[in-house]
Amino acid sequence: MLHRCSKCDSDMEEGFLLEKGDSGVLSPQAWVTGKPEKSFFSGVSIKGKQMYDVKTFRCNACGYLESYALGVQ
């Protein structure tokens, strides 16, 4: 999939946004439906919500980020 920056029309590179957890746990970020609800156990409750893998493109020229939520996890 070839992407062009919507700001400056340069080539964009595929990647993802990384989540750095407290204990050094690394994981890709996800997009979740609705509003965040606080949970005592996990910080934020995602019970009953849909989660999508997020693919983020970065412009090689200006650094602009463009994200796509694709496929349910």
Q: Which amino acid is at 32?
A: V
Q: Measured from the CB atom, is 5 or 30 closer to Zn ion?
A: 5
Contact assessment for residue 57 and residue 65, using Cβ atoms and an 8 Å cutoff: yes
Contact assessment for residue 45 and residue 38, using Cβ atoms and an 8 Å cutoff: yes
Given candidates 64, 66, 68, 69, which one binds Zn ion under the rule CB under 5 A?
A: 64
Listed in sequence order, the residues at least 6 apart from 25 whose beta carbon sits closer than 8 Å to its beta carbon are none
Q: Measured from the CB atom, is 53 or 66 closer to Zn ion?
A: 66
Q: Could you say which residues in the range 9-28 bind Zn ion, by CB under 5 A?
A: 10
Binding site for Zn ion (CB under 5 A): 5, 7-8, 10, 59, 61-62, 64
